[in-house]
Structure 1
């Protein structure tokens, strides 16, 4: 080997040495303490809150007159109990009777015109048979007769409508119920189909509460609540989530929940103020920052800190994730309350790697 060749080989070895050192530096050492940020998993404190609400009727109907008129009497008030068939309100009967009288007079006039047109037609028909009247005259008489008969039929229908309207002048309760509200005062002109009061079924009752939108997105179906009466000495009742209304109050960022009461006593009347608390023991809701989720979309997981021989090490644990709540995500399986989970630095960890002591 010549001197020049020996020198070239020595330079190559020197250059190779730093490359090997760089490879060793990029391989993470499991015994190196890596600083990370972690938090202890706990049930979402939002589920432990209490929510104010009110008792409402499940089956509420708006009652209206079937004819227009001026409201004469309103015989009930909000909160009254009514029985099926009871008269609740009436329209001005004098006006309705006048409408019937006008319709009867119009029918009499129209019928007289129809009778006269029929006699005229009969007279022209006799003259035509004697070749005294013309075809044009009989056709005109027929047209006049048909028009008069049509006018009489129309007047007869108006009379029937007026008599029906007179019968609709009383608003009666279709069933037993409780009057929730009255919408008009006596003397007001009302139109057909416009609600004048609301009637609720006294047996079907539910609790209405408003909750934060973030809570409404994670609450499970048929979740259980405990409903407390505001008055002292009244026992609480259980309730089950029936409906989460889809439209949110954008200004308040809240959603309305409807809870079906389970065997409520009489004390929980419609309109009663209540407080509802979520039974979180049956279905705890736990969340983590989205930065704590590692793995892939198909196989997500988190890094849990465990003690191994006195050392704190990180182990990858597969989890089930649910809905996103802002910058956090619901964790529905794989870990339990009280676990210490690494929330930052999760993409530079290896299974079994030691992490630093947790600072207070």
Structure 2
């Protein structure tokens, strides 16, 4: 027979065990919050920098002589404005005249030889008809006549070429413009087609800047820029990306960008030093780690964290890959919180823990 005190102790033990089992059951029903590592979306910080550059002519023309000769005069320098038809440089006219004289003398000499060869041929032909000369002599006379006639045609062509060259002894401006640079000095022997100077349309201007290759890779087509004059008091102008040069500078790991200026004032002259900054309002460039991308190759997406710490799958459009990051072209907004680690173990609507830095 169990005594009353011992019975009370046994009841208390079973009661305590029951409460412990109930507490453990309740704890088992509470799901654990998954810790996540996330990142807030923002425009890529590297595109917020300012890049130094220069204003250059958009329509640049290289000018060259059409004949060879020694440069006698150079009438312009870099920065000069020129008008259509203006004489920019001349070749040594004395040398050109001497070339014509030499060519004319060559024509006279060969013409005399050709006339003599023709006379010889006619004389040998008459002798052959009277059986005084042989057929071999006649063939030699004919060959000499034909050779001198061909040589006469050649020297006449040389004379025509030198005469034409003498007319191209002056280099004239094909249109109004501004001289960007000159590449020769008076006294230099120039060849046909070799650039002597470059001129540009003073109205067609563009900004040239060099940016890191990683920035060029995420730059959207037609990206907007704000271009500022180095001198104070000059209003900035808007510009739009027109060309990314296909060849990179491997030593500096940069790419050259050409920006089309939108209605630039006269202050932005060719050769002016400027700074250009990416216009975030035009088309923000957002990037995320590649590890944040979930879904399939055809339907990529990311896990966005809501304010109540739940994740939802958001389809995105991917752009260029830059290192270990990828450009997000569409689907997200700035300041969205995106899970960047463990994305393949999440489910839509799942509760996550606080963000771990």
Name the TM-score, length of structure 1 as normaliser.
Answer: 0.85
Check whether the contact 1:30–1:354 (CA below 8 A) recurs between aligned residues. Answer: no
Task: Tell whether 2:334 aligns with 1:337.
Answer: yes
Q: How far does the alpha carbon of each residue in 1:100-120 deviate from its partner, in whole angstroms, 9 at most, with x for none?
A: 111111111111111222222
For residues 134 and 358 of structure 1, the distance between their equivalents in structure 2, rounded to whole angstroms, comes to 113
Q: Which residue of 2 aligns with 1:348?
A: 345
User: Structure 1 residues 332 and 102 mapped into 2: Cα distance closer, same or farther (>3 Å)?
Assistant: closer
Q: Which residue of 2 aligns with 1:15?
A: none
For residues 30 and 149 of structure 1, the distance between their equivalents in structure 2, rounded to whole angstroms, comes to 111
Q: Which residue of 1 aligns with 2:150?
A: 150
Q: Which residue of 2 aligns with 1:319?
A: 316
What SS class does the counterpart of residue 282 from structure 1 fall into? Answer: coil
For residues 356 and 83 of structure 1, the distance between their equivalents in structure 2, rounded to whole angstroms, comes to 73
Cα RMSD of the aligned pairs, angstroms, is 2.1
For residues 30 and 206 of structure 1, the distance between their equivalents in structure 2, rounded to whole angstroms, comes to 64
Q: CA deviation at 1:31?
A: 2.5
Q: Which residue of 1 aligns with 2:95?
A: 95
Q: Show the 5 A alignment for 1:139-288.
A: 139-288=139-288
User: Structure 1 residues 348 and 276 mapped into 2: Cα distance closer, same or farther (>3 Å)?
Assistant: same
Q: How far does the alpha carbon of each residue in 1:52-75 deviate from its partner, in whole angstroms, 9 at most, with x for none?
A: 111111121221122222211111
Structure 2 unaligned residues grouped into runs of 5+: 1-27
Q: CA deviation at 1:359?
A: 5.8
Q: CA deviation at 1:282?
A: 2.2
For residues 331 and 113 of structure 1, the distance between their equivalents in structure 2, rounded to whole angstroms, comes to 82
Q: Which residue of 2 aligns with 1:25?
A: none
Check whether the contact 2:321–2:327 (CA below 8 A) recurs between aligned residues. Answer: yes
User: Structure 1 residues 30 and 42 mapped into 2: Cα distance closer, same or farther (>3 Å)?
Assistant: farther
What SS class does the counterpart of residue 269 from structure 1 fall into? Answer: coil
Check whether the contact 2:35–2:355 (CA below 8 A) recurs between aligned residues. Answer: no
What SS class does the counterpart of residue 357 from structure 1 fall into? Answer: strand
For residues 153 and 347 of structure 2, the distance between their equivalents in structure 1, rounded to whole angstroms, comes to 94
Check whether the contact 2:65–2:191 (CA below 8 A) recurs between aligned residues. Answer: yes
For residues 319 and 151 of structure 1, the distance between their equivalents in structure 2, rounded to whole angstroms, comes to 77
What SS class does the counterpart of residue 147 from structure 1 fall into? Answer: helix
For residues 30 and 124 of structure 1, the distance between their equivalents in structure 2, rounded to whole angstroms, comes to 126
For residues 113 and 134 of structure 2, the distance between their equivalents in structure 1, rounded to whole angstroms, comes to 23
Q: CA deviation at 1:135?
A: 3.1
For residues 317 and 112 of structure 2, the distance between their equivalents in structure 1, rounded to whole angstroms, comes to 86
What SS class does the counterpart of residue 297 from structure 1 fall into? Answer: coil
Q: Which residue of 2 aligns with 1:4?
A: none
Check whether the contact 2:227–2:236 (CA below 8 A) recurs between aligned residues. Answer: yes
Check whether the contact 2:224–2:283 (CA below 8 A) recurs between aligned residues. Answer: no
User: Structure 1 residues 271 and 117 mapped into 2: Cα distance closer, same or farther (>3 Å)?
Assistant: same
Check whether the contact 1:30–1:352 (CA below 8 A) recurs between aligned residues. Answer: no
User: Structure 1 residues 149 and 333 mapped into 2: Cα distance closer, same or farther (>3 Å)?
Assistant: closer
Check whether the contact 1:218–1:330 (CA below 8 A) recurs between aligned residues. Answer: yes
What SS class does the counterpart of residue 280 from structure 1 fall into? Answer: coil
How many residues are paired up?
330
Q: Which moved more, 1:349-358 or 1:217-226?
A: 349-358
Structure 1 unaligned residues grouped into runs of 5+: 1-27
User: Structure 1 residues 122 and 238 mapped into 2: Cα distance closer, same or farther (>3 Å)?
Assistant: same
